[in-house]
Amino acid sequence: MNFTKICVLGLGYIGLPTASTFATHGIQVVGVDVNPNVLATLRRGEIHIHEPGLRETLEAALKTGNLTINETPREADAFIIAVPTPFHEDKYGDYNGKQYKLADMRAVTSAAESIVPVLRKGNLVVLESTSPPCTTLELLVPILEKSSLKAGIDFYLAYSPERVLPGQILRELIENARVIGGITPESAAVGRDLYAIFVKGKIITSDATTAEMVKLMENTYRDVNIAIANEFARLADRFGVDIWEAISIANLHPRVKILSPGPGVGGHCISVDPWFFVETAPDLSSLIYAARRVNDSQPNFVLELVKKAVGSLKGKNIAALGLAFKPDVDDIRESPAVEVIHLLQAEGANVKAFEPFKPNADLPGVTAVPSLAAALKDAAVVILLVNHTELRALTPEKLVTMTPARILVDTVNGWAGKDWKAAGFNIHSLGVNK
Ligand code: SAJ
């Protein structure tokens, strides 16, 4: 099938790069978002998120005239839904006393509903948002069929997850392998035609539920592997071992690749997606559930580490370096760093946080200061929470001139290998008890 015009619903971390990339590949794209601030920012040619290369791609897309920004969908050959699927903050499921989080599918539901009036015979609809298994068949089909068109007969419908890594989205969007799961083989084939416009990686077709499951399996696999690394760090602490040394030796084994422990797992994907399995099949997901609990409780392990290093936190000035959920991105969603700060504050500490990628971060309950110097100047303790290149590059010689603090807590192994002692610092690293 040939596509001249498409509509992308949701202009966030995935929708915006996707819309811009289609536009720079000669497709007319209507980018739709419900947030008026996002629309206004994009219309000015500015971006509301930090992603290397995104501004340039957006500028190029707007310059071609192929990308227009709109409040509501317009008639098009294809519709791509790329809206968020977070979990409910205030609702939980329960399975034998084990609480689990529930997916909030309201954005997907309303995006699908907004397509109904403009859906025409022969159109393709693709859901990209990470979703619980069977969402395409059980949630989307009934909504889209309100148009009086039959899914799989009058219009094509597929699920195709994005699998790009924040920080490398524009490159991975093009180069990564992509799975297109159709509700019929024809839907998958038409979906393949759409993404073949810019995807250079392998495109694999399958059914919709397989594609949904593939996405959840990838992130769950990573979550479980990070959980074991975090549990190993706790064990190393118990047994007087340096976990980083132990991991580097274990990873010499040709079939072992242990990931890195840290302050926890954040972001809008890995800390969220495994719950979609737990929610839909709690009786079959005990390992997944346990891994989630380990990673979610890792900020408490960091708190204990800080308490061991400092003693009582009451009234202590702490500089918390990094708020993002991982290195070299500005994304603070579900960030374990923020969780650690809340725990420190609950113990009575005065925390000043600095996030180099978002110096003006405005977070409820967190005092974010605009510079490293402001965070450090009256600190008694400095905690490295995110392994940002800029923070990792700090040297003992530099830090000693910036802060009266002499206690350092490194939760990400970013300051290893430097002679902090010689500069008068006492350093405590997560997973290192040697
Ligand atoms: N983390 C660790 N230790 C590690 C690796 C990561 O503690 O060894 C932490 C990070 O600091 C972060 C969290 O895990 O808090 C997640 O970071 P990440 O880099 O593993 O993943 P994301 O969330 O940025 O992106 C993931 C990717 N999925 C996989 O690698 C299987 C990406 O390909 C997906 O597209 C993305 O989720 C998504 O959108 O689902």
**Rounded Cα distance, 38 and 55, in Å:** 14
Q: Which of 160, 259, 269 to mutate to test the pocket of ligand 1 (most atoms within 8 A of CB)?
A: 269
Confidence class for position 32, pLDDT limits 50, 70, 90: very high
Indicate whether 12 pLDDT > 90. yes
CA–centroid distance, residue 393 to ligand 1 (Å): 22
pLDDT score at 259: 98
Q: Where does 251-327 show beta strands of DSSP type E?
A: 317-321
HEC string for 118-157: HCCCCCEEEECCCCCCCHHHHHHHHHHHHHCCCECCCEEE
Integer angstrom CA distances of residue 189 from 160, 184, 212: 12, 9, 17
Integer angstrom CA distances of residue 299 from 171, 262, 293, 341: 32, 9, 11, 9
Residues with CB under 6 A from ligand 1: 130, 162-166, 218-219, 222, 226, 259-260, 262, 265-267, 269-270, 325-326
Confidence class for position 87, pLDDT limits 50, 70, 90: confident
Taking the CA of residue 295 as reference, the ligand 1 atom at the shortest distance is: 7
pLDDT score at 211: 98
Q: Where does 220-340 show beta strands of DSSP type E?
A: 317-321
pLDDT score at 48: 87
What is the rounded end-to-end Cα distance, in angstroms, of the chain?
63
Confidence class for position 98, pLDDT limits 50, 70, 90: confident
- Mean pLDDT for the chain? 96
Hey, which residues are catalytic here? 215, 269
Indicate whether 45 pLDDT > 90. no
pLDDT score at 86: 87
pLDDT in tens, 324-351: 999 998 889 889 999 999 999 999 999 9
pLDDT score at 43: 87
pLDDT score at 365: 92
CA–centroid distance, residue 89 to ligand 1 (Å): 21
Q: Which of 165, 232, 412 to mutate to test the pocket of ligand 1 (most atoms within 8 A of CB)?
A: 165
| Closest C-alpha residue for ligand 1 atom 34 | 163
CB 132 within 8 A of CB 276: yes
**Rounded Cα distance, 161 and 163, in Å:** 6
pLDDT score at 119: 98
Q: What is the mean pLDDT of residues 355-375?
A: 93
Helix, strand, coil percentages for the chain (3-state, nearest 5): 40, 20, 40
**Rounded Cα distance, 101 and 276, in Å:** 8
Strand pairing class (381-384; 407-410): parallel
Integer angstrom CA distances of residue 233 from 289, 298, 305, 322, 408: 19, 10, 12, 21, 18
Given strand 5-9, what is the order of strands in its sheet? 67-70, 28-32, 5-9, 78-81, 124-127, 156-159, 178-182, 203-207
Indicate whether 49 pLDDT > 90. no
Confidence class for position 260, pLDDT limits 50, 70, 90: very high
Indicate whether 16 pLDDT > 90. yes
CB 427 within 8 A of CB 415: yes
HEC string for 162-219: CCCCCCCHHHHHHHCCEEEEECCHHHHHHHHHHHCCCCCCCEEEEEHHHHHHHHHHHH
Instruction: Give the distance, in angstroms, between the CA of residue 314 and the centroid of all CA atoms in the same chain.
Output: 33
Helix (H) / strand (E) containing 5: strand 5-9
| Closest C-alpha residue for ligand 1 atom 10 | 326
Instruction: Give the distance, in angstroms, between the CA of residue 344 and the centroid of all CA atoms in the same chain.
Output: 24
Instruction: Give the distance, in angstroms, between the CA of residue 367 and the centroid of all CA atoms in the same chain.
Output: 23
Taking the CA of residue 269 as reference, the ligand 1 atom at the shortest distance is: 40
Taking the CA of residue 270 as reference, the ligand 1 atom at the shortest distance is: 23
Taking the CA of residue 267 as reference, the ligand 1 atom at the shortest distance is: 23
HSE of 251, CA atoms in CB hemisphere, 13 A:
11
pLDDT in tens, 113-157: 999 999 999 999 999 999 999 999 999 999 999 999 999 999 999
pLDDT in tens, 381-413: 999 999 999 999 999 999 999 999 999 999 999
pLDDT score at 246: 98
Q: What is the mean pLDDT of residues 88-111?
A: 92
Provide, rounded to the nearest whole percent, the portion of the chain with pLDDT above 70.
Answer: 100
pLDDT score at 414: 98
CA–centroid distance, residue 270 to ligand 1 (Å): 6
Question: Phi first, then psi: what are they for 141, rounded to 5°?
Answer: -55, -50
Confidence class for position 434, pLDDT limits 50, 70, 90: confident
Q: What is the mean pLDDT of residues 270-288?
A: 95
| Closest C-alpha residue for ligand 1 atom 3 | 260
CB 411 within 8 A of CB 430: yes
Structure tokens at 183: 């509700």
Provide, rounded to the nearest whole percent, the portion of the chain with pLDDT above 90.
Answer: 90
Question: Phi first, then psi: what are they for 331, rounded to 5°?
Answer: -80, 120
Structure tokens at 227: 């959980």
Confidence class for position 229, pLDDT limits 50, 70, 90: very high
* Residue 110, phi-psi category: left (phi > 0), alpha (psi -120 to 50), beta (remainder): alpha
Confidence class for position 415, pLDDT limits 50, 70, 90: very high
**Rounded Cα distance, 243 and 249, in Å:** 10
